[in-house]
Structure formats: structure tokens, C-alpha cells
């Protein structure tokens, strides 16, 4: 007789557990085989990342200092002209830079009142689209300094594509009639400015003769005497030693070479108190310390002690 024995409950559980584990093994294998193997560690990359983190978190001042040093170095390359010379010697690189937006597109002018913008642009010599690195700002400034009205100039690059030009112009002080008859606009120290457009400066003092470089003192002194200033039309330099005043009615007032300042007070009194310019006078000589000398229109000469003018 055969006895058919049923497996016990514990054996059944063990059998099911083993079957389940056996069925799961192929899935785990497939998952493991589908993962990409991690790359081998890069020593240099890990060191760089560690250094970045260390600098930023523990040494922020050191990081800022390093950035500033790098920025200063790059700026020095631009200011010193290293980048400019490199681009100028390499047309291909210069073309690439121009295409990247570093071609000159604007020129900004400041301070010019009497110098026409077209004269400034012509003197600068920059072409539209020209590489801003190729712009020689020092040579451009030297050319600007040759213009009549330019006393000084500042030419700078403004990256990426602008040029800034600030002009400091000469100050007109007087008109000077040269011995050849040509009229010049001059500065306070007598240096020449231009012979162009002198009609615009008819209101300025007129200097006549062989020297106008030391006219500022007498012009300033006459400006303090209203009656004299109202009648003066020109300051005549004589032998580069002394001054004559040419009045509006043609009267010539001769001043001494030295100590001429008090004689302006004398002339003021003669005009206001004595009405000397209402008389028939063509010349007043104030060079003598004791007498006045007068020349009448008739050619007659008169002299009076000081204090008793005609």
C-alpha cells in the first residue's frame, strides 16, 4: 500500500520562497547590466573643485583679490597698447574682433564751441567700423592740438565701440594788428590763435604795433577807468617799450615807459573834470612828470604845469 504524503506547511513555504528568489534573480541581473559604469575619478578636476569651494567659503577676500588682480592685468594690457598692437599686426584677428562688435560706431565730442565738429573728426582720422583697438588715440590727440582753437584735448576709447573726445579751447583776449596789417585773435599772453573769423571779435581790445605779448596789464588797468575805457579804441605798442592809447576820435595819448598806471588817473581827470577831449586836441603827452603837453589840430603845441591843464 502506497501512502501519498502531503508536504508539510513549512516545507511548502520554503519551496515558494526559493522559487520567488529564483524568479527575481534574472530581473536584478538585467538592471545591473543596464547601468553605466561610473567613470574613474579625475584627480585634477576634484582638486580644482575642492580649491574653488575652499576659496569661496573660507577665503572670500583672497578670491576677491585674485579677481581684482586679473582684472587689473587685463586692463593694463588694453591701456598699455599690447592688445592694440597685437590686433594691428594680425588682420584676421582684427576682423574677428570687428565682427564681434568692437568696430567704431560713435564719436562723442565735448567742449568744442568754436571748433567745427567736422574739423575735429577730420583731425581724428578714424573710419566708421574701424577696430577700436586699432584707433591710435595718442596720434589723434596730437593732430587735434594743431587746430587753431584747441589748447588741449583728451581722446579715449569707450568699449565696446565708442570714442570720447573732450576739447579744451583757447580763450580769445584781444585782436592784434601785425606790422603787415593782418589781424589775429590772440590769447591773454599774446600767443596767436587764428586770422579766421576775426569780425566776430570786434568787441575785444585792439592791439597795434610790434608787440602785444604784455598787453594784459594795461588792458586790465584801463578797464578800471570808465571814462578812459569808453574812449579807447586801440592800444599801440611803441618800440616794444611803452604804450600809446588811441582814442575814438583819433586823439593819441602818450604814456611813459614806467609808472604809467598813475597817468591813467590823470587822463580820467582830464576827460571828466577838464573836458579835454571836447577841445581841439589831437595829442596828449603824459610822459613828463611836471607838465602836460598838448598838440592841437592846427599843429600848435601847448604845455601846462601839472594841475593847470588847458
Looking at residue 24, its pLDDT comes to 52
Looking at residue 84, its pLDDT comes to 53
Looking at residue 238, its pLDDT comes to 92
Looking at residue 170, its pLDDT comes to 97
* Domains of the chain in sequence order: 84-169 (3.10.20.310), 174-305 (3.40.50.11690)
Ordered per-residue pLDDT tens for the chain, 310 residues: 233 344 444 444 444 554 445 445 445 444 444 455 555 555 656 666 666 665 555 555 655 666 666 665 555 545 555 555 555 555 555 554 455 456 888 999 999 999 999 999 999 999 888 888 888 999 999 999 999 999 999 999 998 889 999 999 999 999 999 888 899 999 999 999 999 999 999 999 999 987 667 899 999 999 999 999 999 999 999 988 999 999 988 999 999 999 999 999 999 999 999 899 988 899 999 999 999 899 998 888 888 887 654 4
CA dist 237 and 54 (Å) reads: 80
CA dist 215 and 174 (Å) reads: 9
Question: What DSSP string describes 31-87?
Answer: HHHHSPPPPPP-HHHHHHHHHHHHHHHH-HHHHHHHHHHHHHHHHHHHHTTHHHHHH
Q: Is the dihedral of CA 148, 154, 155, 160 positive or negative?
A: negative
Q: Nearest Cα to 131, choosing from 166, 157, 108, 109?
A: 157
Q: Nearest Cα to 146, choosing from 117, 124, 129?
A: 124
Looking at residue 150, its pLDDT comes to 97
Looking at residue 101, its pLDDT comes to 58
Are the beta carbons of 220 and 174 closer than 8 angstroms?
no
Q: Which three cell numbers stand for residue 230?
A: 569808453
Return the residue matching grid coordinates 565730442. Answer: 109
CA dist 175 and 203 (Å) reads: 9
Phi/psi for 222 (5° steps) reads: -65, -35
Amino acid at each position: 500500500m502506497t501512502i501519498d504524503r502531503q508536504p508539510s506547511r513549512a516545507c511548502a513555504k520554503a519551496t515558494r520562497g526559493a522559487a520567488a528568489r529564483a524568479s527575481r534573480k534574472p530581473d536584478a541581473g538585467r538592471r545591473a547590466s543596464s547601468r553605466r559604469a561610473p567613470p574613474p575619478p579625475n584627480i585634477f578636476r576634484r582638486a580644482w573643485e575642492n580649491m574653488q569651494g575652499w576659496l569661496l567659503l573660507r577665503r572670500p577676500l583672497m578670491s576677491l583679490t585674485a579677481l581684482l588682480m586679473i582684472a587689473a592685468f587685463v586692463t593694463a594690457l588694453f591701456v598699455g597698447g599690447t592688445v592694440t598692437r597685437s590686433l594691428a599686426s594680425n588682420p584676421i584677428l582684427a576682423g574677428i574682433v570687428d565682427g564681434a562688435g568692437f568696430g567704431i560706431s560713435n564719436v562723442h565730442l565735448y567742449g568744442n564751441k568754436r571748433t567745427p565738429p567736422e574739423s575735429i573728426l577730420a583731425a581724428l582720422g578714424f573710419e566708421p567700423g574701424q577696430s577700436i583697438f586699432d584707433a591710435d588715440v595718442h596720434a589723434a590727440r596730437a593732430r587735434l592740438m594743431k587746430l587753431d582753437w584747441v589748447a588741449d584735448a583728451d581722446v579715449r576709447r569707450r568699449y565696446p565701440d565708442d570714442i570720447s573726445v573732450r576739447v579744451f579751447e583757447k580763450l580769445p583776449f584781444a585782436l592784434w594788428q601785425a606790422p603787415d596789417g593782418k589781424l589775429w585773435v590772440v590769447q591773454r599772453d599774446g600767443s596767436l590763435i587764428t586770422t579766421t573769423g576775426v569780425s566776430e571779435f570786434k568787441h575785444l581790445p585792439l592791439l597795434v604795433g610790434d608787440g602785444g605779448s604784455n598787453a594784459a596789464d594795461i588792458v586790465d588797468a584801463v578797464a578800471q577807468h570808465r571814462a578812459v575805457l569808453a574812449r579807447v579804441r586801440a592800444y599801440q605798442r611803441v618800440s616794444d617799450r611803452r604804450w600809446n592809447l588811441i582814442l575814438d576820435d583819433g586823439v593819441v595819448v602818450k604814456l611813459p615807459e614806467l609808472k604809467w598806471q598813475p597817468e591813467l588817473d590823470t587822463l580820467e581827470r582830464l576827460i571828466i573834470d577838464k573836458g579835454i577831449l571836447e577841445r581841439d586836441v589831437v595829442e596828449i603827452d603824459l610822459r613828463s612828470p611836471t607838465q602836460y603837453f598838448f598838440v592841437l589840430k592846427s599843429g600848435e603845441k601847448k604845455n601846462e604845469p601839472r594841475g593847470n591843464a588847458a
